[in-house]
Amino acid sequence: MKKAFVIGSLLVVLTLSLGGSVASKSTDGSATYEQLKLFTEVLSIVQNQYVDEVPPKDLIYSAIKGTLRGLDAHSSFLDPDSYKEMQVETTGSFGGLGIEITLRDDILTVVSPIEGTPAYRAGLQTGDRIVKIDGLVTKDMQLPDAVKRMRGKPGSKVTITVVREGWTEPKDFEITREQIRVQSVRSHDLGGGIAYVKLRQFQEQSPGDMGAALEKASKAGMKALLLDLRNNPGGLLTAAVEVTEEFIDDGKLVVYTEGRVRNQNMRFSAHAKKSYPTLPMVVLVNQGSASASEIVAGALQDWGRAIVVGTQTFGKGSVQTIIPLSDGSGLRLTTAKYFTPKGRSIHGKGITPDIIVEIPKETTAAVRERPASLDPMEELKKDVQVQRALDVIKTMRIIEQQRPGQNPQAQVRPQ
């Protein structure tokens, strides 16, 4: 059976071949069978006596959805159409709004709008709660259903009703759908040997794109790196591992997972062909940094490889396994939690930066209103968190010059 490990929300998939049964040895088969008799009894009554005739498949699908809804916010059932859509999401091209969503406290919540997409330009923000989609209340709506309703033909419109902290009433956002093509890596030379790399999402091509950006920067004389993971909602677990191993020594642990079933207990260590294990670096994060972003930031923080600057991350630290079913549908089931190298569970907590730097709300609004043609370098110069990160890098480089052979990150890390 093929399965897929997922560590973010609905944009996140990794296909792996795993053997073995997923059934727990401790399951009481007889007790389960007795309860199934009750289920079939109810199913028969509904089929025969409910006021309207309901197709058997619809009844079964609804029953499965109800079962998974009672487990946690991230387990869900994918009908055949949703399962097919999910399989193409990690390619970096899909139709929709460009927004990553999750369920937080059973409320449909924005993890992060993807930079440059319709959702981002419309002004949706991390933490926004989506209470309606085209007038339909989202209470009790599962993630796949919500995603399906927000997807559509490019050029068509959808209205999202949002509740935001500080607002007295909900607000409608009418957004025109587009074909979303996410460029996973963007890089700039900040001068003085400092390279800037922004990673927007962890897709299949991200490690290769990151490697190419680092190679180009290295040839240009890179002496320090600013890695920007802000508003990166996550992605593939393998991509997170491959990005992290660019910066730590061979064999060091990046992340491990623990679940109830033995084959969910996995360890991922660094085995990069080429790496930069001593390169002074700062990692930028914020509330929109989730899942795979938290794996990278957490590992680099645990190993003392980078100073983490910004604000508290989202806190998505559970692993979902995508299991294909016989009729073309799929099961998205929480099967494990992931931990940083030092054993920290990020789920519900997030990563706390070494240096906390808030961005004023008026600055965030101004950034969204700037024209798309604005020079990216000008944007970085006006970015409070970027400028603080540059100050940290400069301090690290001074320490490196004064005390050769010592880890500059460790010297400037707040105690």
Which residue of the set 75, 291, 318, 329 is catalytic? 291
Residue of 75, 40, 74 lying closest to 59 (CA atoms):
40
**Would residue 316 show up in a list of annotated catalytic residues for this protein?**
yes
153 is catalytic: no
Catalytic residue among 9, 316, 318, 383: 316
Using DSSP's 3-state secondary structure scheme, residue 258 falls into strand
Choose, from 128, 145, 209, 302, the residue flagged as catalytic.
302
291 is catalytic: yes
Q: Which of 173, 93, 166, 90 is closest to 130 using CA atoms?
A: 173
Residue whose C-alpha is closest to residue 97's, from 165, 54, 138, 152: 152
Catalytic residues: 291, 302, 316
